[in-house]
Amino acid sequence: MSEAPRGATIQSEEGPRALVPLLARALEKGTSDAVLLPLRTPGQDSYAFVLVKDPRLLRQADPLPPVQTVTGGRALSSLTRHGGGGVRILAVMRPCEARGAIELSKLGQVDLKDVTLITMDCPGTVPLQRFARGDLRPSAVGFADQDIRPICQVCDLSCAAVGDLHLGWGEGLAPILIPMDERGAEALLAMGLRAEGDTSEWRTTVSSRSQERRERREERLGQLRVASSGLDNLMVRLDSCINCHNCMRACPICYCRVCAFDIRRQERSANEVLDLAKARGSMRLPMDTLMFHLGRMNHMSLNCVSCGACEDACPAGVPIAQLFAMVSDRTQSAFKYRAGMDRQQRSPLITFLEKELEGEDGQRC
């Protein structure tokens, strides 16, 4: 769609929860078979992605929970990794999660063929650990900037309309559902809405929000870059790592069945370790802490969507998502790529050009 998109304004005070009755209507109409979205768990103190077929169960739904537990991309991958099987799914998630799903689809781990992605403006989420400790209960979370995760505070794509259908909302802005493509337009129609409203107000708000975040991102990640430059300083940032590899397991993009760093061949013989210890004077054990993080960065920084799942999963407080963001912002821009933003653009490392990066002077990343 080349001209400015139009949207359907929804009369509701509830923000993202305004989506719930609309999703129910689409289910009842039968144009979709199921909805995948976060639901309040029965214990009432957490959230999980649930595939809902019965519209009545949607009452428990919270399209925009205050924490990120399992990411939407990962949930969608577990559902469609072996092909979607023709089940038409409305998948509701944050922009970063949807970008994860899009990256995974490029890597053959998600099948978007019958999936309508629905995204929404995201104010950020609170750190999982604080939430789990009970410091912030669902009802008490106000999405104030100081409560959201550091990676969310520098997210410039929090309102990225990467879904087929996107919900714009926020302070002083009436919720507006905007179809971004054919599929989104069909879903909107199934909800009984028409895209007749003007979206210029939403676009202006988003553009100023994103600009502000972009500046903050540059500034904070710039500070981190200075503080972690060189192997020694980087090691300081990774100091508290306990080698649990949780960051890798929680990452939606890390999709290998067995990580190379969990394979025996990475292990060294006692003689080799001794040799290294002799050469360097001392050896931290187990010895692959730095290699693990660098290796993962090497594999994943081009596909990283800065969702922050790794940092949430870290029990030791390593600012791993911020370190990834710091690296991937540069590696991705070297390939003129932003993970999960363009469904047509192929992932850089599987795109082979005879003459790439030629004639580009100066620092690339």
Partner 1 sequence: MNARVGVYVCECGNNISDQVDIAALVPMLEGAPGVVKVMSHRLLCSKEGQEFLAEEVRKEGLTHLVVAACSPRQHLPTFMEVCKRGGLNPYLMQMANIREQCAWVTSDRHEATEKAARMIRAAIARVVRQAPLPEREVEANPDVIIIGGGLSGTVTASMLAGPERRVHVVDRNPALAVALTSLKGVETHGGCEVEAVRGFFGNFEVELASKGSRQEVRVGAMVVCTGSRAMTLQEMGYPGSEAPHVVVLPQDPESLRPYLDALPSGQPKVMFVHCAGRERVGYCSGVCCLRSFKAMRWMAETAPNAQLSCLHQDICVPGRDGEREYQGILGIGARMTWGRLTALAQQGPQVTVSFRREDGSIGQDAADLVILVPATVPNHGARALIDIIGVEAGPAGFVEEAHPMLEPVSTSVKGIYVAGSASGPRDGRATSLLSLAAAAQIAAELRPGKTLRLEAQTSQVCEALCTGCRNCMTVCTYGAIEYDLVAQTCRVNETICRGCGNCVAACPSEAISVKGATYQQILQEIKEAVR
Nearer to partner 1, 215 or 262 (CB): 262
> Does 258 participate in binding partner 1 (rule CB under 8 A)?
yes
Q: How far is the CB of 301 from partner 1 (least distance, A)?
A: 12
Q: How far is the CB of 99 from partner 1 (least distance, A)?
A: 18
Peptide bond into 286 cis (omega under 30): yes
CA 179 to CA 166: how far, in whole Å?
A: 6
Residue from 49, 131, 202, 255 binding partner 1 (CB under 8 A): 255
Tokens of 226: 């200075």
Which range binds partner 1 by CB under 8 A, 63-71, 171-179, 255-263, 329-337?
255-263
> Does 45 participate in binding partner 1 (rule CB under 8 A)?
no
Beta bridge partners of 117: 91
Q: Which of residues 342-361 bind partner 1 (CB under 8 A)?
A: 349-350, 352
Residue from 257, 280, 336, 355 binding partner 1 (CB under 8 A): 257
Burial track 164-202 (b if 16+ CB lie within 10 A, e otherwise): bbbbbbbeebbbbbbbbeebbbbbbbbbebebebebeeb
Contact pattern from residue 175 through residue 214 relative to partner 1, giving x for each residue in contact according to CB under 8 A and a dash for the rest: ----------------------------------------
CA 161 to CA 7: how far, in whole Å?
A: 12
Q: How far is the CB of 339 from partner 1 (least distance, A)?
A: 14
Q: How far is the CB of 364 from partner 1 (least distance, A)?
A: 19
DSSP assignment string, 90-106 = EEE--HHHHHHHHHHHH
**Which residue from 63, 51, 50 is spatially nearest to 20, judged by alpha carbons?**
63
Contact pattern from residue 107 through residue 126 relative to partner 1, giving x for each residue in contact according to CB under 8 A and a dash for the rest: xxx-----------------
**Which residue from 155, 126, 160, 119 is spatially nearest to 143, judged by alpha carbons?**
126
Residue from 256, 274, 285, 365 binding partner 1 (CB under 8 A): 256
CA 168 to CA 160: how far, in whole Å?
A: 10
CA 28 to CA 280: how far, in whole Å?
A: 67
Q: How far is the CB of 327 from partner 1 (least distance, A)?
A: 17
Q: How far is the CB of 359 from partner 1 (least distance, A)?
A: 21
Nearer to partner 1, 265 or 336 (CB): 265
Nearer to partner 1, 30 or 108 (CB): 108
CA 224 to CA 238: how far, in whole Å?
A: 13
Nearer to partner 1, 107 or 227 (CB): 107
Contact pattern from residue 79 through residue 98 relative to partner 1, giving x for each residue in contact according to CB under 8 A and a dash for the rest: ---x----------------
> Does 231 participate in binding partner 1 (rule CB under 8 A)?
no
Which range binds partner 1 by CB under 8 A, 21-29, 101-109, 111-119, 187-195?
101-109
Nearer to partner 1, 352 or 361 (CB): 352
Tokens of 276: 């290294």
- For residue 20, the surrounding DSSP H or E stretch is helix 19-29
Give me the numbers of helices (H) and strands (E) for the chain, helices first please: 13, 7
> How many degrees, rounded to 5, is the angle at CA 64 between CA 13 and CA 93?
125
> Does 299 participate in binding partner 1 (rule CB under 8 A)?
yes
Size of the site for partner 1 (CB under 8 A): 17
**Which residue from 157, 227, 206, 167 is spatially nearest to 7, judged by alpha carbons?**
167
The footprint of partner 1 (CB under 8 A) covers: 82, 107-109, 255-258, 260, 263, 265, 272, 275, 299, 349-350, 352
